[in-house]
Structure 1
């Protein structure tokens, strides 16, 4: 007997994508709509995301994006069973814009609200298209985070390692900016690297003699800058070779640490999620590593790797069904968090501040 349909509305606004989605959940997950409105043109003159501009754009566009998602799904607000919204971590102005909208919609309709950790959305995003049994090893690799975690279920993630300085996505973005390749940086580097020689420029191999599962990308950024200065003025071929050299080193670093974690945990499934997981070279390396370890490799479709609200809707639903969502009173009273570790029991790598653990 098929499970009665549940309709879940999701909102995501943690960085520079304003997103809303509607899921229909029975004994399977169906994405009825997933609307993502980017802000690349708004931030392009500044070479990166400007928090104030992002927050204003979210506030201006969230109602239109939400309306479009509901319209495409042909689901009126009154028919929703659950509303899920990112409550952190992220750029606090953007998070506040989206979460405040979701609060208002919840109060107006009486539909329960579930605050969602943005990283939880990425961690569970593979469930939008595949039925993946837990536990699984997750490489979460995005613009703001690079972590290895064992995901044991909704709200249950154990961190094995994290970046001790910059995230992989940030390194891709800043490398692209340095070379004038445009934004977003990850796809720009990947495109340029296809025409380049990955062995032309020597790049460091971060943390090569250090055990554990942590990552570091600051040294790679420095090496790219030094190589660019020495080769200046850069030709198109110089840029392609530098992009290829950087990409090869960054992906080998990710792959080496992931292989070690897979061997240590004996996990039967390796999952990659987050914006950088859309990189085809990285996907290929991770698939090789999983095959070598006798494990399955699974990653979301490219549109669900980058920030989206469908993953937030799914995470909210799974948390609610697992009894891990706060009460409606607590959800409406919750203040968005710029910092929110997925594994709150893990020791902060950088330390703690007034806003919570930095990593």
Structure 2
């Protein structure tokens, strides 16, 4: 019997991140600067809310979009934090993590043959979904513009098939963000060419020098905002994401969401309610610690000859390597010889060649030890 498999699925490959991990798996005494999640514990009051939900048997299906009180809390949070205004009754959907929100958004707006513009290097979770929709991901190289996607760059890649722009800022893997002026230029372009914008703002609470600005405040009528609690409240395993969209878009997104997962975990939703209410500022102490680690990491990188662009948010540097080796070979040798794990830039698209992603979501002691090891490694 010949298995019948979707052709788009058959063409998918393991992510470059996973391929790299498979290569270095089993190395002892590794200091990992690869981690893409907070190294803090979920705040106690959030865990207690989940325990209480279980004890009260809050373990049934909720409304497809999430229980209303949670959506009201999310609406308040987004208004207070980012001046985003979304009706909790019909413009907010609670999802199983931001990843499912991205999947829902793309499956809702894309048709076969559409083209989606996104910055490169970029998180590798978008392109596979785009291809499964029969659409095409168009990677816009930002390496010569401090990793910033600009309206001029986008304009150079527009075709009659372009239907959507993805704005993942603050960025994984670069940590770079866009300011109000830069976003407004992109907003004007989207209006001019009748494009949908998907703004992945999962790192919006982890910004350091300037407040986060959402393009949803500029062109709400054509923007889907993605957010969630994984990074801001150290809740990666709880799987709570948020999709915010104008009613005309949200009513289509809820159909995709409903037939995909029905609803997010009821217990996790109760934990999320605590996060968005009593825990509205839970990210602040984590952000302060990340800022200290950003300074330590940047100092070490520059001292060792890495090329750096200062990140505005998240907890990553995408650093240019001081070596003629390929990114993959450099990362493998650093793992094998220095026992320091870094993600090769090519895991985030070929435009990442020459870079490695370094996460500072680990202790200051671990960072200092990792760079001591890298210094000895580079001296060789």
Q: Would the TM-score normalized by the shorter structure come out above 0.5?
A: no
> Using CA pairs below 8 Å that are at least 6 residues apart, which structure has the higher relative contact order?
2
TM-score, structure 1 as length reference: 0.32
TM-score, structure 2 as length reference: 0.31
